[in-house]
Structure 1
């Protein structure tokens, strides 16, 4: 096992440690486990997130810019093995050489206007810093994803990078989401790409689970493309929510600013719900005067004549700026995410909203295989115990979306990541299973994998990692 190291210029107390670089790659055959994991829990929890925030003397500016690291918790017979590994990419190799050669979310290489124009119109090697999510391929490999339309394949057991995978089609596009969905009825992978042009388009597509060819489902024109980090799906629809955080594509060429800094908050535009039929590609939309922003959808389904769309909402796009690393490390106050439900009546062209629960909620999860795109009651996520944004995301939350009741897990000085719900093999209820999360213990200076009972939301076990794991984004559990 290698010795861990963190960057020396980041505070080693409080949640700031979650934004410190982790340089070492380790393998531990068996982590110390406190408590008892369920006998039926067997498989691999795979996590993705940024773990390197410097390139020599230069620093990446935003949480989303850090270089991708994969983490694997292998669970069997009550034991847990751990391994971590950087995703091998041109951007990582450049950072290790002390250079930032590739544009990230909010960090750009220093280039002249001529160089920016030249780079824009030539074929160049992609950054491949896929630090956001992981999804299974159909051939016993996984793919790491980011918001660029590409995927980086890796071995889920060794975490070894295999390489960038392409598509056998001409759909193209400039921006996508790292949150593809499985169509509830067919199992097809569904996502969209945004193509910037004089008349930009959201291109929604489906992809067979065992194929590399995408089938275009619909193209939706947009004069001012929005930043859409995720979307929703029902049994019969794809739902894009176009928040008024928009861009003029020409700005990417002329402004000299990093990607996200070209977007502008335009609340006067309101919010547009774009609904695409999964069977026929039909497009309908409803625009509401209510302006809000969200990174993540919780779930969506049809209820009578209305479309239900649940999101983790913010009043505006200021949350994007709150994730600049200098602000995070200084302990600046955070915007507070609210679990909100929007009921969209496509026939009447109206949308109304209400809050699902008083507890803040972000990085949401549900019993995905059974409830995604369908009516549900249980949502899991991370929240803020103080409700005022003075601390980072410091508790796990379970909410009943029907009656608003909440349960929480909290331990002082601990900061949990996205919860992943794993249903029991013969689940008798929607919440019959285990909830897994990777938690930073700031006082101990290390992290642990936490397991909660899905029903009672109480701790059943934890497995301690020998180092602190930087705060990540998303992951999946693969059963054996």
Structure 2
């Protein structure tokens, strides 16, 4: 079995299936890991065009008393029912567009809520568990059963056309911080705060852009929100005039550079708006303040070719793909200077940190996926020491890991005192496994074997709730 099996459709669903465990799980590991990602890539005789277009499925791993259970369930959306039950692609996606009408293309993605496909991440809005994508509509699900409850709309606050599936918890308050991008003659990134325990959005500040860039994630520090607006930009009129799927309206304009905007979380004022050399990224690693400087760590690509490399036909053919590297951008908030330094030559993507204690603050360790060959998108797990640039690698030939999620040990005092959880495609066994690494030593301590291949997903969260 090759890595390409991770881009095949999964149609079967299991409920609380006990998984055989090899090795020994830490006795303190109790709770749930819920992961989100695409799982249905084909409808009838047609396939969605891009990895990001597959229909959303949740995967729940429950940990208790050294045992692991597994549940997987599709999120029940009109798009899923159209693809799975009717055998047709009925709704527009990131790079797939079945609509015949130009106006239908625009409004089906941005205005018709029934077409949302929340396949990127999960979060918690007060007492509500939600699945997220880049369309600003969250879909609520039941934490225990993964059953879909319905669209959860904000009570009030800014609205727009595009958002991120990576809201942050503001250090110190726990409030959710995110932005919605509203297209127009002067498009605006509207940064908002959503108090912990609620669904009401409060506008903090606005950043305008004549040609808005595609921004998948952002960063926060103790006092600031940080937007890196890459030169992959769009004229919003293109959605009406070109008749192309969403992402294919964007153009790479390296001469624009990368705009780094720093907004004060207290009053929404723009503290800095500077230009860095052109680069592209899906994911920020972390950011923090250092006196009059702001440090921003990103998994940076040279350009935006990675988006084209993630079309399904290329992934299924095993084509080569660009790689990103952990890169540090240090912004002088007073002079506007931006210093750029690569933290390691080891490729890294899907980064995670000790989020609860170090997000938005100085940190040392980051965890991610990496690759030994550009034909295998991800074939190893990477632990990066940002202080020294040293890396530790977990690599098993024929195994292809997903995002590593750090879980701290109870009462932990060290930043890497805990375990890392990753869903890994075991090519030799022909199925996936939940692999548990000791975060400090980077050694595998246990794995729970899933009876089927889990398609490659994106992001997940660990909760101490059963």
For this structure pair, what is the TM-score category when the shorter chain's length is used for normalisation? over 0.9
- Pair 1:299-2:295 in alignment: no
- Pair 1:310-2:287 in alignment: no
1:270–1:287 Cα contact (<8 Å) kept? no
Q: CA deviation at 1:110?
A: 3.5
Render the CA deviation track for 1:59-104: whole Å, top value 9, x for unaligned. Answer: 1000000000000000011100001000000110111212222110
1:338–1:355 Cα contact (<8 Å) kept? yes
How big is the alpha-carbon RMSD for the aligned residues of Structure 1 and Structure 2?
1.3
Render the CA deviation track for 1:329-373: whole Å, top value 9, x for unaligned. Answer: 111111011000000002111101111112111000000000000
Q: Residue 161 of structure 2 aligns with which residue? A: 174
2:260–2:276 Cα contact (<8 Å) kept? no
Aligned pairs for 1:230-241 (under 5 A) are: 230-241=217-228
1:81 to 43, 66, 69: 69
- Pair 1:255-2:260 in alignment: no
SS of 1:327's equivalent in the other structure is helix
Q: Residue 2 of structure 2 aligns with which residue? A: 14
2:92–2:245 Cα contact (<8 Å) kept? yes
1:191 to 178, 193, 196: 178
Q: Residue 108 of structure 1 aligns with which residue? A: 97
CA distance in 1, matches of 2:287, 2:105: 40
- Pair 1:220-2:207 in alignment: yes
Render the CA deviation track for 1:266-301: whole Å, top value 9, x for unaligned. Answer: 000001100100001111334335100000000000
Q: Residue 449 of structure 1 aligns with which residue? A: 434
1:168–1:212 Cα contact (<8 Å) kept? yes
- Pair 1:337-2:324 in alignment: yes
1:368 to 352, 355, 358: 355
Q: Residue 134 of structure 1 aligns with which residue? A: 122
Q: CA deviation at 1:116?
A: 4.2
Q: CA deviation at 1:212?
A: 1.4
Render the CA deviation track for 1:242-282: whole Å, top value 9, x for unaligned. Answer: 00000000000111100000000000000110010000111
2:393 to 399, 408, 415: 408
Alpha-carbon spacing, 1:117–1:240, altered in 2? closer, same or farther (3 Å): closer
Q: Residue 417 of structure 2 aligns with which residue? A: 432
SS of 1:91's equivalent in the other structure is helix
Render the CA deviation track for 1:402-423: whole Å, top value 9, x for unaligned. Answer: 1001101111100000000000
- Pair 1:64-2:49 in alignment: no
CA distance in 1, matches of 2:439, 2:104: 53
CA distance in 2, matches of 1:448, 1:23: 18
- Pair 1:390-2:378 in alignment: no
CA distance in 2, matches of 1:234, 1:289: 19
CA distance in 2, matches of 1:322, 1:116: 23
Alpha-carbon spacing, 1:211–1:117, altered in 2? closer, same or farther (3 Å): closer
1:377 to 364, 374, 389: 364
1:305–1:345 Cα contact (<8 Å) kept? yes
SS of 1:261's equivalent in the other structure is helix
Segment drifting more, 455-464 vs 22-31: 22-31
| Structure 1 portions without partners, runs of 5+ | 1-12
Segment drifting more, 314-323 vs 282-291: 282-291
Q: Residue 36 of structure 2 aligns with which residue? A: 48
Q: CA deviation at 1:390?
A: 2.8
Q: Residue 443 of structure 2 aligns with which residue? A: 458
2:105–2:245 Cα contact (<8 Å) kept? no
1:286–1:351 Cα contact (<8 Å) kept? no
Q: CA deviation at 1:114?
A: 5.6
